[in-house]
Structure 1
Amino acid sequence: MKNYKLPFRSTVLALFSLLLFSSCKNASEEISEEKETGKMEYPAEWMYNQRAYPNNYINKQAYKEAVLQSKQILANRSPEQAGEWTFVGPLNTGGRVTDVAISPDNDDHLYVATATGGIFRSYDAGANWTPIFDEEARLSIGDIAIAPSNAQIIYAGTGEANGSATDGAYFGDGIYRSEDAGDTWANIGLPESNHIGRIVVDPTNPDRVFAAATGQLYGKNDERGIYRTTNGGGSWEQVLFVTDSTAAIDVAMNVANTNIIYAAMWERTRKPWERDYGGVTSAIHRSLDGGNTWTELGAANGLPAPNAQTGRIGIAVSESDPSTVYARFTTNEITNVFNGLYKSTDNGDNWTLVTPPNVLSNIDANFGWYFGNVRVNPSNSAEVYIVGFDIAKSTNNGASWQILPGMHVDHHALDFSRTNSNFMLSGNDGGAYISNNSGSSWTKFLNLPITQFYNIEVDNTQPERLYGGTQDNNTIRTITGGASDWNAIWGGDGFHVNVDPVDNNYIYVESQYGNLGRSTNGGATFSNATNGISGSDRNNWNTPVIISPFNHEILYYGTNRLYTSNKAANWSVISPDLTDGLHPSGSLAFGTLTAIASSYNNLDVIYTGSDDGNVNVTFDGGTTWMDVSAGLPDQYITSIAMVPSDDMIAYVTVSGFKYLDYTPRVFKTTDGGQNWTDISSNLPNIPVNDIIVYPAENILFVATDLNVWYSKDDGGSWTILGNNLPMTVVMDLKFHEPTKTLFAGTFGRAMHSYDVSDILEIGENELASNSIKIYPNPATSEFTISQNLSSNGTVQLYDISGKRIKELFKGNFSANKNITVKTDGLAAGIYLVKVNNGKQSVTKKLIIKK
C-alpha cells in the first residue's frame, strides 16, 4: 500500500488526491499505519471518477430514464420469459449502513437503511429482514425517520450524505413517504436535494417535517439548506439557505416546543482530485418560530467563532430534557478532526465545552466528514454518544468517555428504544448491531444481504468456492457455497481476486492501490506479491490483475504500465506509460490502467484500458504497443474482453452517464482496435462496469449501474437478464463455463447467480429447442429429467470436473418423457446432466444436497 503526505492546503488544485483514495480499515490497522508513517488515508473517489470523467458531470436524468426503461422491460414480460436469480451470499459479512430506526411503539420493528442497498425492515427483532425500498430503484439512503405519533408513517431521504465518493456517484432524488410502515412509498419532493443528511418529524404532527438537504457533492447548487413541509410533503419550503456551497447536514427539534429547531450547516466542495470540507459558513443556526427566521449561534453563545477550518457539525436534543442540546464540532478543511463537544442547558442560548478536542482526538480517525453524528439517550440527558470511527459513550454529560466494544468501525447510525432504555440499534460499515445492555456488548445481524462487492471470483475446479473483494470488509470467500459462512482472507478494502483455474492452491488477492497478496496453499496463508512493482508508478484504487487464459501460470498487473510475472513471484514491466500521464492535479491515483485482457491462444496479444480513456494493444508480448483509442469516447475504460477464437476481436465497455443525447457504452473491434463499432443499441445511457463474452453464440452479458443485461445478437439488442435481481449497481461478472452459471457481484446487495444454459442453447440445435427440465433442483433423494424428445438417446452424469460418473438412461425418449433417478451413492455437490440425441446434446446443471 502506498502512503502519501497531506497537502498543506486543500484549495490548491494540486491537492494530491491520494488523500482521498484509501480505505476505511479496522481500528488496529489505522492505528498501526499512523504510528509507522504518520500519515492517514481516506475513502476513495474511484466510483465518482468512473462515472463523471472527463467532464466532472453525472446526468441524473439519464439514470431516471434508465430506471423507467428497466421497469418497463420487467413489467411487460411474463415471468416465464426469464429465469430467477439466486442469492448466494454473504449474509454474515454486512456492508455500509447509513441509518437505523426502532419503531416508537414496538421494539421488534426495526429498520436499517444502507448506502447502496436500500431499506430493510424486520417485524421480529431482526430474526428476518425484508427489503422494502427496491421498487423505487433509489437504493442509496441518507436518512429514515419514523413519525413518533404514528409508526405507520415513515420518511426516507435518498442519497447518502456522509461526504464519501460513493455519495457523489449514487445520488438520490428526494424524499419518500410511506403510510403503511414501508410496504409502499411515494416520492414527495425535493428531487434536486441529491443527498439528505437528516429528517426530523414533529412528534405531535406526522405531516410537519424538517429535512436537511446537502445538495450536490461535486458541485454547487441552490437546493441546499433546510426544508419544511406542513402537509406531509405535499409542498416544501426552503426555510434556511446560506450559500450554494453550504450543505445542511443535520437538523434537530425540541420535542417540548417544536418551534425550536436547530440546523447544522457545513461548507463543503469537492472534485475527484480536490476536497475542501470546511469554511466560515459551517455553523449552527437556530429558529425559535418553527423555521420562519433563523439566527446563527457562535462565539457570543460560547460556540467556536466562524473559522475557515470549521468542518462538519453534529447536533442532538435531549428528549427527556429538551432544553439540553449537544453539538460536536470538527476542524481542518481536509480531515475534519474532532474539535470538541459542546452542551447547552438553555435551548442553545449559552454553550459550554464539556469535552475538549484532545480527549477524543482519534474518535474520527482523521476523516470526520465521514461521520459527524452525536446522539442522546431519550430517557437520560446525561448519556451522550459520539458516533464516529468508534462510538464513544459518556454517562456524565461528556466529562468522561468509554469506547463501546464489539463492533466494526466507521459508525453512521444509532437509535434507542422509547420503551427500554437499554435497547439500542447501531449501523456502521460492517452492518447493523443491537445491544440490550446500553452498549456494553453488541450482537451483529448475520442475515442482511448488503455486502458491497468491487470484484468477485468463482473457483473453476471447485465452483462452490466463491470469492469477492468488498468495500471495507476485506477479501472474503466461502468454500461451501453457503450464504452464511463467508470469511475474510485478506485485509483492507478488497478488490480483484484471481484463483488459478487449474491449480486452486494459487490464489491472488488485492486490497486498495494494488496491494497484492499470493497464497500457494489454497488460501490458508498469504504473502506479499508485489516484488518488482515500482513504487513510483501510479496505481488505481482498483488495480487490475488477471491470469492469462492461455497459460494459467502467467499473470498481468497494471499500474500506469503493464507488468507480467510467473505466479506473481517477481514482476517485470512490459510496457511504457499507457495513459495520458500524470494528472494536472499531481494525483498519483489518476492516469492508471483499469482493464486488461489477454489472448486465449498465445502470450503475444494483450489489450489494456485506462481511467483516462486510452486503449492500447500489443501483438508481440509487449515489445511494441499501439494506441487504438481512436473511435472510442474519452471515458473511463471499465472492462475489456477478448474472444477465444480470434485475437483481433475484442469488446470494450466504458463508464460515465449520458453527456450528449446519445452516449455509447459498449464497443467491438474485429481488426485489433483499428476500428470500433458501437454495439450499445438500446442499453440505457448509464455506466457499464463489466462484460462477459460467449462467442460461440454471439451472446454478451454486461454489468451496469442498473442490473445485468444481455444480448443474443452481438449487441444488436439488449434486455435485462432474470427477474428478481435488485435494481442496484452490478460491479463485476464471472462466468463458470462447466456449469453455465453467471455470477454477479453487486455494490450493496451481495452476490447472485444465474443459470444461463437455456440462453446459451438458443439456436444451438434441435435438441436444445426442446424443453428439458430437471426437478427438484437442488435434489435430495431423487430427481426427474423431463423432456419432450421423440428419438433414441442417452442421459449421462458427470462431476464438475467433467469426469463421467454413470449413465442415467439409454433408450427411446418418447416412451420415457419423465426419467426419475435416485441419488443413492451420489455425494452432495454440483453435477452435470448431459442429454444426447444422436450428434446433438445439451447439458444441464444439477445440485444434490444430502
Structure 2
Amino acid sequence: MKYLHICFLSVVLLGGSINLIAQKKGAVASATTKKDSASAINLDAFEFRLLGPALMSGRVFDLAINPQNKFEYYVAAASGGVWKTTNNGVTYDPIFDGEGAYSIGCVTLDPGNPNIVWVGTGEANNQRSVAYGDGIYKSEDGGKSWTNMGLTKSEHISRIVIDPANSDIMYVAAYGPLWDSAGERSIYKSIDAGKTWKAVLTVSTNTGFCDIMMDPRNSNVLYASAHQRQRKVYGFVSGGPESALYKSTDGGSTWHKLTNGLPSGDVGRIGIAFAPSNPDILYAQIEAAGDKGGFFRSTDRGASWQKQSGLSTSGNYYERIFVDPHNENKVYSCDMLIQLSLDGGQTWKAVPTKNKHVDNHVIYIDPSNTNHMLVGCDGGLYETYDNTANWNYKANLPITQFYKVATDNAFPFYNVYGGTQDNNSMGGPSRTINNHGISNADWYITTGGDGFESQVDPEDPNTVYAQSQYGGIVRYDKKSGEQVDIRPVEAAGEPALRWNWDAPIIVSQHNHQRLYFGANKLFRSDDRGNTWTEISPDLSRNEDRNKLPIMGKIWSVDAVAKNGSTDIYGQLTTIAESKFDENLLYAGTDDGLIQVTTNGGKTWTAIDNIPGVPKKAYVYQIITSVHDKNTVYVTFNHHRYGDFHPYVYRSRDAGKTWTAIQNNLPERGSAYSIAEDHMDADLLFTGTEFGIFASLDGGNKWLPLKAGLPTVAVRDIEIQRRESDLVIATFGRGFYVLDDYSPMRNIKKEDEAKDAVIYPVKDAWMFDEASPLGGYGDSKKGSMGESYFTTPNPKVASVFTYYIKDNLQTLQQKRQKAEGEKIKKGEPVYYPSPDTLLLEDQQPKPYLLFTIYDADGNAIRRIKTNAGKGLHRIEWDFRYPSGNMEEYSSDGGSSYKALPGNYTIGLHKFEDGIFTQLAAPVPFTTKALNWASLPATDKNALMAYNNKVYKLRRAVDGTYAYFQQLSDKLKQIKAAVIAAPQLPLSIATDANAIQKRIDAVQIQFNGNGSLAARQFETLPGIRDRLNTIAYGLWGNSAAPTTTYLRSYDVAEKQFTTAYAEVKSIDAAIQLLQQQLANSNAPVITGTLPNWK
C-alpha cells in the first residue's frame, strides 16, 4: 500500500469476527451517482510510456544462439518475454509481446532451420515469484509471428529438443504446475512438428520434468530428469521419491531409470548435461537431503555413476550445468556464483565475477572460442571474451521485475520508486528536460538486496523509505545519498518477528513524519523511523506451517529443501490508514485475514470468510474510497494455491457485505492491485497477471489498457494525483506510465451518440528541451552509440483527447462496404458505372482539421489528422506554423512558440470538399515552466520580436524560392537560344548580363560561396543571419541578444536592396520570355505559350 491508498471503515468494530453476508449484484445502491458504462469505447488512445530502467536488468533464464550467425541470438527473460538481437547485442527487440504469456522457460532453434524458433512458456524455476505460462509456441519467421502449439496446461516448460535429422520429431520436458498438482507434466513427443503431442513418460500428478537431452550421435537416445516438487504460500518441498533420471534408447517409446551409483530415497532437482566432445560422458548435479546429493559423472552413457564431489545447488533456483564444447572435464555449474571444475567435477572454484551480478541461470560457451561466453543471471545478460576475467553488461535490456511502485511530489517532474527482484530498490525521474529522454544514468539505488515497497515523504521528496527483503528498511536521503537503517528490532525477551518478503509500509496522511510498518505485528513511528511502537498483537492466524500439507501430505523437517526461500507464514501484506480518521487502520495478511482497528491499534477485529473468496486467500491489496467512507476495495491473490482466478471485491458498508467486481476480467489472470481515481469514484484500475484494466463505471465492466504495454504482470499501481498520471510496476518489463489519464473521467455513455467530443484538456508546461549529449533530430543520443539505453519523455506539448463516432468514408469505401454486405447475402454485385468510378477517383479524401485559437479568437494553428472513429489523441507543440512550405508539417511546427496563456481548440471535418464543425472549441491553458536561469522577462516584447523575425524570414524565404525559379528560367532561356537558331544571339547576350546580376544577388542571400570553398573568411548572407537568429532564439526562452538585434537590422537592410533587384531581374527575364513566346523556340517552364 502507498501514501495515496487509504482505508476507512465507518463502523466501530469492538472484537471478534464480523459475520459476512454475500451481497447480490446491485442490491445496495452506490453512494455515488453511477454513470452508464461507455461499453463501445476502446481505450487504446491511452498509451503507456516505458520508463525503464535497464540500470539493473532482470532475470535471464535461457539463450538460443543461431549456429549459422552467432551475432543473432534470442534471450528468454524469466518474466519479460523473448528478445532478439541480430547485431550481437548492440540492440535487442522484444518479439513476444503480444502473446498469451510473458514468463519464459526455454527458447530453442530448429537445428535444420534457425528461422524456426520454439518457446516454452512458464519459467522453469521454483522460486516464490515465478510466473506461469500457457504452453509452447512456434515461429517460422524468426520471431515475427507466433502460433501456440498446445500443452497449455503445462504452466512451466523447461526444455525443448529437436531431432537434427528430422525437425518433425521433437520432445518437450513439461515441468507442470508449481503451485498445484495435476496439469500437463510429462515428457511429450511430437512427430508432426508440434501439431499433436503424445505423453511418452509420465510419473505422477506431483512430478514433472525439469530437463531432457538428446544424444547428438543418435537422436533415439534421450535422457530426462524428473522432479517432484510443490510450492505453497506457506511452504516448499523440492523433492521426493519420484525424482529420478530416465533414459530411452528408442525415441521415447520405452524408458528406464538410471540408478546405479545415484542416490535413492527423497531426491530433488537433477541438472544434467553431456560432454559435447565425448557424449559418452554424462554429468548430473543432484539436490537431495543431507549429504546424499552432489555432483555425479558417468562415462558409459548413464549405465553407472560415480560421485565426484558434494557440490549441489538449490533446486529452487539453479541446478543447471554446462560442459565446455572441447574439454570433457571442464564443467560450469550455475549457482549464486558460477562454479568451475577442470577435473570433471571433483574440485570446484568460483569464476571471477568482478562487476557482475550474481544468481546465474544459463551459460553459452562459444564453440569457436571458448573464452567467449554469454551468461544470463538475475541481473540480466553478461558477455566475456577473456574466459570470465572481465564482463560486459548488456545495459539495454529493460526486463526489471518490480514488485511495487511509489511516486513523490517533486517539482516540476515527479520521481518514481520501487523495489525489484534481486536488483535493489531504486528511483528515477518520470521525465527529464533532456531531449534524449531518460537514461540509465538518471536512476539511482536507494538500498540493496531484493528490493520491495518504497515510500516517499509527501512534503519532502528527498526523504525516501526503501526496502530490501524481510523488512530491511532504510531512510534514504536523496540529496546526500546516505542511508539510515530504521528496521524495528525485537525487544529483549520478545519472540522473533515474521516479515513478509515484501513487507508493507505507508506514510501517514495526517502526519508526514509518521510511518506504519508491518511484520506479523504492526509498528508505528512518529519520527521518520527513528523509534517504533508496537501497536498490535500478532494479526495473522499464527498457524504452524509445518502442519499444513504439501502434495497432499505433511512432510518432515528433513524433506528436501523444506520451506526453502519461503516466507515464514503468517504476516502482514498490506496496511492502510483512513483519510478521515487517523485512528482507523486497516491491514491484510498472507493467510487470508483482514484486520481493522478504530482506535489506533488498541483493539483489532478480524474479517474472515468473505463469500466467494477462498479461505486463506492472500490479501494482496486493500484501499478504501477517498469519496465515500464506507467503500472498501480488496484484491485477493490465490495463485500460490494454483487458483489463477482474479478476486476483486468491494464493500459499500464498511465490510459488512461484499460484492465481487471482477466481472468480465479474464478468468485466468490473478489480481494484484487496485486503484481508485481521486476525482471520479467510478474510475477504477486493477493490475492482473497479464495486464491492467480500467473501469469507467465502478467495476461493472472492465476495459483493457494495453496500448504501449506488452503482456506482463502489473503488480502495483500508483496514481500521481498532481499530474493525473497512472504509474505501474510490471514484473519483468520495468516501470510504465500513462501520462494524463484524466479524460477517462469524462467519458460517458452518451458520448457514443455524438458525432465528436473533445474532452477537457490538462494544463501543459512550456519549456525547451536540453541536449546534454549533443546531437539533433533523430540523433538525440549524440555519439553514444545505439546501445546507449534511453526511454522517451512525453512530448513537450498540449495533448488533446477526442472521440469520433463514425469513420469518414470515401465514396469508394462506402461502395465497397455495400458490395461486401451483398456478397455476404449472396446477392449479385454489379460493376459501377463510369461516372461513379470517375466521381470516386476525383473525390478528395476526408480528414479531420483541428484549429487552435488564441485568447482573442485568432486562429493560430491548424492540425490535420486521419478521420478514424473512436478515441484518439493529438498534440500541439505550442508553435506557430512555418512561413516556409518546405518546412511546414501539420503535426510539428518549425516556427516560434506561442505565449503561455489561454487557448481553445475546435474541430471540423472535411468531407466531399466541405468543412463542417464537429465540436465546439474547448478551452485549455499552457504554462511556462520558467526553468531557465536567464529567461526573457518581457514575454510580449519577445513575442513581438519573434513575429518580426518570422515575417522577415517568411519574406526572405519566399523571395529566395522565387529567385531560384528565375535562375532556372534563365538557364532554360540560354538553352533555348541554342535550340532555336532563328532567335537572335542578342538574347543570349542579354541573358548572360542578367546571369551576372543573379550571381550577385546569390551572394547577398547566401554569402560568397566561391571564397568559402577556398577557405577564405566570408560575410554571412541574409539567409544565414536570419537562420542564426531563428534557430538560436526559437529553441530557448531567452530574450534576443544585442547581436541578434543588430544582425536583424543588417539583414532587413540588405534584403530591401536584394528584393528590389529580384523584382528588376524578374522584369528583365519576362521581356526575354516574351521574345521567345513570339517565336517557335521551346517553351520555358512556367510560361503560357501564345495560341491563336
Letter in 2 for 1:713: D
Once the 2 structures are TM-superposed, how far is the Cα of residue 682 of structure 1 from its aligned partner?
2.5
- Cα pair 2:209 2:225 within 8 Å, conserved: yes
Greater mean alpha carbon deviation, residues 658-667 or residues 240-249: 658-667
Residues 234-277 of structure 1 show CA distances to partners (whole Å, capped at 9, x for unaligned) of 22222223344332222112212222222222233444334332
Q: Given the two structures, how large is their TM-score scaled by the length of structure 2?
A: 0.62
Residue in structure 2 matched with residue 687 of structure 1 by the alignment: 670
- Cα pair 2:179 2:639 within 8 Å, conserved: no
Is 1:538 the equivalent of 2:493? no
Rate the CA distance shift 1:190–1:556 in 2: closer, same or farther, 3 A: same
Rate the CA distance shift 1:203–1:296 in 2: closer, same or farther, 3 A: same
Residue in structure 1 matched with residue 417 of structure 2 by the alignment: 467
Secondary structure, aligned partner of 2:673: strand
Letter in 2 for 1:166: S
Greater mean alpha carbon deviation, residues 212-221 or residues 704-713: 212-221
- Cα pair 1:260 1:287 within 8 Å, conserved: yes
Once the 2 structures are TM-superposed, how far is the Cα of residue 836 of structure 1 from its aligned partner?
7.6
In structure 2, C-alpha distance between the alignment counterparts of 1:844 and 1:381, rounded to whole Å: 69
Listed as ranges, the gaps of 5+ residues in structure 1 are: 1-72, 790-807, 824-831
In structure 1, C-alpha distance between the alignment counterparts of 2:720 and 2:928, rounded to whole Å: 14
In structure 2, C-alpha distance between the alignment counterparts of 1:812 and 1:552, rounded to whole Å: 45
Once the 2 structures are TM-superposed, how far is the Cα of residue 452 of structure 1 from its aligned partner?
0.6
In structure 1, C-alpha distance between the alignment counterparts of 2:334 and 2:106, rounded to whole Å: 15
In structure 2, C-alpha distance between the alignment counterparts of 1:670 and 1:265, rounded to whole Å: 50
In structure 2, C-alpha distance between the alignment counterparts of 1:282 and 1:820, rounded to whole Å: 63
Residue in structure 2 matched with residue 405 of structure 1 by the alignment: 352
- Cα pair 2:446 2:476 within 8 Å, conserved: no
Is 1:620 the equivalent of 2:599? yes
- Cα pair 1:222 1:244 within 8 Å, conserved: yes
- Cα pair 1:761 1:768 within 8 Å, conserved: no
Once the 2 structures are TM-superposed, how far is the Cα of residue 612 of structure 1 from its aligned partner?
2.9
Rate the CA distance shift 1:815–1:426 in 2: closer, same or farther, 3 A: same
Is 1:570 the equivalent of 2:523? no
Greater mean alpha carbon deviation, residues 473-482 or residues 450-459: 473-482
Residue in structure 1 matched with residue 738 of structure 2 by the alignment: 754
In structure 2, C-alpha distance between the alignment counterparts of 1:577 and 1:414, rounded to whole Å: 45
Residue in structure 2 matched with residue 550 of structure 1 by the alignment: 510
In structure 1, C-alpha distance between the alignment counterparts of 2:640 and 2:202, rounded to whole Å: 31
Letter in 1 for 2:677: Y
Greater mean alpha carbon deviation, residues 234-243 or residues 426-435: 234-243
In structure 2, C-alpha distance between the alignment counterparts of 1:530 and 1:280, rounded to whole Å: 42
**Equivalent residue for 1:356, pick from 294, 301, 309:** 309
Secondary structure, aligned partner of 1:240: strand
In structure 2, C-alpha distance between the alignment counterparts of 1:310 and 1:662, rounded to whole Å: 29
Once the 2 structures are TM-superposed, how far is the Cα of residue 469 of structure 1 from its aligned partner?
0.5
Relative to its length, the structure with more helix (as a share) is 2
Letter in 2 for 1:581: N
Once the 2 structures are TM-superposed, how far is the Cα of residue 542 of structure 1 from its aligned partner?
1.6
Once the 2 structures are TM-superposed, how far is the Cα of residue 464 of structure 1 from its aligned partner?
4.4
Residue in structure 2 matched with residue 805 of structure 1 by the alignment: none
Is 1:422 the equivalent of 2:371? yes
Residues 537-584 of structure 1 show CA distances to partners (whole Å, capped at 9, x for unaligned) of 432222110001222111111223322111112111223443333355
**Equivalent residue for 2:108, pick from 141, 145, 167:** 145
Residues 92-147 of structure 1 show CA distances to partners (whole Å, capped at 9, x for unaligned) of 21111111111111111111112211111111111111111222221111111112
Is 1:812 the equivalent of 2:791? no
Secondary structure, aligned partner of 2:213: strand
Is 1:341 the equivalent of 2:296? yes
Is 1:321 the equivalent of 2:278? yes
How many corresponding residue pairs?
A: 733
Residue in structure 2 matched with residue 444 of structure 1 by the alignment: 393
Question: Aligned ranges for residues 232-271 of structure 1 at < 5 Å?
Answer: 232-271=193-232
Question: Aligned ranges for residues 50-69 of structure 1 at < 5 Å?
Answer: none
Cα RMSD (Å): 3.8
In structure 2, C-alpha distance between the alignment counterparts of 1:507 and 1:253, rounded to whole Å: 52
Rate the CA distance shift 1:843–1:184 in 2: closer, same or farther, 3 A: same
Residue in structure 1 matched with residue 472 of structure 2 by the alignment: 515
Residues 703-743 of structure 1 show CA distances to partners (whole Å, capped at 9, x for unaligned) of 22221211222223221225121121101111212222111
In structure 1, C-alpha distance between the alignment counterparts of 2:452 and 2:640, rounded to whole Å: 27
Residue in structure 2 matched with residue 717 of structure 1 by the alignment: 701
Residues 59-110 of structure 1 show CA distances to partners (whole Å, capped at 9, x for unaligned) of xxxxxxxxxxxxxx9x9976x8522110001112111111111111111111
Rate the CA distance shift 1:760–1:571 in 2: closer, same or farther, 3 A: farther
In structure 1, C-alpha distance between the alignment counterparts of 2:79 and 2:215, rounded to whole Å: 31
Secondary structure, aligned partner of 1:165: coil
Residue in structure 2 matched with residue 9 of structure 1 by the alignment: none
Once the 2 structures are TM-superposed, how far is the Cα of residue 661 of structure 1 from its aligned partner?
13
- Cα pair 2:743 2:801 within 8 Å, conserved: no
Once the 2 structures are TM-superposed, how far is the Cα of residue 604 of structure 1 from its aligned partner?
2.2
In structure 2, C-alpha distance between the alignment counterparts of 1:311 and 1:83, rounded to whole Å: 47
Residue in structure 2 matched with residue 476 of structure 1 by the alignment: 426
Once the 2 structures are TM-superposed, how far is the Cα of residue 670 of structure 1 from its aligned partner?
3.9
- Cα pair 1:628 1:674 within 8 Å, conserved: no
Letter in 1 for 2:146: W
Residue in structure 1 matched with residue 92 of structure 2 by the alignment: 129
Secondary structure, aligned partner of 1:585: helix
Rate the CA distance shift 1:783–1:136 in 2: closer, same or farther, 3 A: closer
Residue in structure 1 matched with residue 459 of structure 2 by the alignment: 502
Question: Aligned ranges for residues 246-325 of structure 1 at < 5 Å?
Answer: 246-299=207-260, 303-305=261-263, 307-325=264-282
Residue in structure 2 matched with residue 561 of structure 1 by the alignment: 521
In structure 2, C-alpha distance between the alignment counterparts of 1:639 and 1:592, rounded to whole Å: 14
- Cα pair 1:280 1:310 within 8 Å, conserved: yes
- Cα pair 2:132 2:156 within 8 Å, conserved: yes
Once the 2 structures are TM-superposed, how far is the Cα of residue 350 of structure 1 from its aligned partner?
4.1
Greater mean alpha carbon deviation, residues 308-317 or residues 151-160: 308-317
In structure 1, C-alpha distance between the alignment counterparts of 2:240 and 2:768, rounded to whole Å: 60
Greater mean alpha carbon deviation, residues 775-784 or residues 398-407: 775-784
Residue in structure 2 matched with residue 676 of structure 1 by the alignment: 658
Relative to its length, the structure with more strand (as a share) is 1
Once the 2 structures are TM-superposed, how far is the Cα of residue 156 of structure 1 from its aligned partner?
1.3
Counting aligned pairs with the same residue, the percent is 34
Residue in structure 2 matched with residue 63 of structure 1 by the alignment: none
**Equivalent residue for 1:458, pick from 407, 413, 432:** 407
Is 1:99 the equivalent of 2:54? no
- Cα pair 1:132 1:183 within 8 Å, conserved: yes
Letter in 2 for 1:104: P
Rate the CA distance shift 1:229–1:562 in 2: closer, same or farther, 3 A: same
Greater mean alpha carbon deviation, residues 557-566 or residues 107-116: 557-566
Residue in structure 1 matched with residue 716 of structure 2 by the alignment: 732
Once the 2 structures are TM-superposed, how far is the Cα of residue 671 of structure 1 from its aligned partner?
3.8
